[in-house]
């Protein structure tokens, strides 16, 4: 894992901390720049932006094998995201317990895009085949479910249930994404939006306890997963502390001088 941070001006611990804080909390890049200055570290907000764009997709990629199995009752809905001054559709799906299934950002809302989204969800190894799919009254889902049943990708007994109140759970779940996107005032391009939203979603899944061994509310276990299983193990080796007991990287940045030395 050492080469993941190769040629970076700052140590991996600093890169990891800034990336995790940006994805987890409602902070802008300039907020993080000020927070690092308060801790004696001068790092420009554009540098933090580049770190997020480089390492955020790694969080999504490396988290997939550790996601818990979901149930067979889906809630599917779309919300809006502004990209370069234009509104785009963010398709999102959760199960009946609120666990995130998958997500997709697209410029349009159509049957073709709905089918693409369902195929993406069904391609995940931790997703159970749906017994029922709760959607709003958007007509795009009618053709999507019908065509996927004909193709054998959805079970014949799977029901499409157009019920608005049943989708309250996924609509409430949209709030996390809106709260995270708002400080940045939208995105400058589609690639930037997609890379960032992927990491927002995965961080939200970690926060909800969807990672095996890192239950909801167990912040230390969640941070341990991000540092030890997702990125690298060398933090505990360099700083010589017990990783499970000391995964508060805010404390590391505040209290450990070794983290302030550029490499």
What is the DSSP annotation of 67-79? BPPP-SEEEEEEE
Average model confidence (pLDDT) for the chain? 81
**Which residue's structure tokens are 């341990």?**
224
DSSP 187: B
Q: What is the pTM of this model?
A: 0.79
Domain ranges within the chain, ordered by starting residue:
2-65+213-260, 73-194
Check whether 117 has a pLDDT greater than 60.
yes
* Region of 126 on the Ramachandran plot (φ > 0 left; ψ -120 to 50 alpha; else beta): alpha
Q: How many angstroms separate the CA atoms of 23 and 34, rounded?
A: 16
Eight-state DSSP code of residue 98: -
Q: What does the block give as tokens for 136?
A: 């709003």
Q: Which of 46 and 181 is assigned the larger pLDDT? A: 46
Give per-residue burial for 168-191: e unless 16+ CB within 10 Å, then b: ebbbebbebbeebbeebeebeeee
In this predicted model, which residue has the larger pLDDT, 138 or 190? 190
What is the CATH architecture assignment of 73-194? 2-Layer Sandwich (3.30)
Contact residues for 226 (Cβ-Cβ < 8 A; gap 6+) = 16, 20, 59, 206
Residues 150 and 101: their CA atoms lie apart, in Å, by: 23
Pair 70, 122: CB distance under 8 Å: no
- Residue from 172, 70, 194 nearest 121 by CA: 70
| pLDDT tens per residue, range 66-103 | 899 999 999 999 988 989 888 999 999 999 889 999 99
pLDDT digits (tens, 9 = 90+) for 22-37: 988 888 899 999 998 9
Please state the rounded mean pLDDT for residues 36-54.
Answer: 88
28 φ, ψ to 5°? -95, 170
């Amino acid at each position: 894992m050492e080469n993941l941070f190769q040629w970076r001006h700052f140590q991996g611990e600093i890169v990891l901390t800034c990336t995790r804080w940006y994805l987890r909390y409602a902070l802008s890049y300039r907020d993080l720049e000020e927070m690092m200055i308060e801790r004696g570290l001068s790092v420009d907000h554009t540098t933090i932006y580049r770190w997020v764009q480089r390492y955020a997709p790694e969080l999504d990629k490396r988290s997939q094998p550790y996601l818990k199995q979901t149930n067979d009752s889906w809630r599917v809905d779309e919300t809006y995201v502004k990209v370069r001054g234009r509104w785009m559709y963010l398709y999102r799906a959760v199960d009946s317990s609120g666990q995130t299934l998958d997500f997709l950002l697209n410029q349009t809302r159509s049957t073709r895009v709905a089918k693409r989204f369902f195929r993406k969800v069904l391609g995940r190894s931790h997703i159970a085949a749906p017994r029922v799919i709760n959607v709003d009254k958007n007509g795009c889902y009618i053709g999507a479910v019908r065509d996927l049943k004909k193709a054998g990708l959805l079970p014949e007994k799977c029901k499409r249930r157009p019920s608005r109140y049943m989708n309250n759970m996924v609509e409430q779940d949209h709030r996390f994404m809106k709260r995270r996107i708002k400080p940045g005032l939208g995105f400058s391009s589609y690639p930037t939006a997609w890379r960032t939203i992927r990491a927002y979603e995965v961080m939200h899944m970690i926060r909800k306890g969807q990672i095996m061994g890192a239950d909801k509310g167990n912040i230390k276990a969640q941070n341990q997963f991000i540092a030890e299983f997702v990125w690298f193990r060398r933090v505990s080796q360099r700083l010589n502390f017990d990783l499970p007991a000391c995964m508060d990287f805010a404390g590391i940045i505040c209290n450990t001088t070794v983290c302030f030395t550029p490499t």
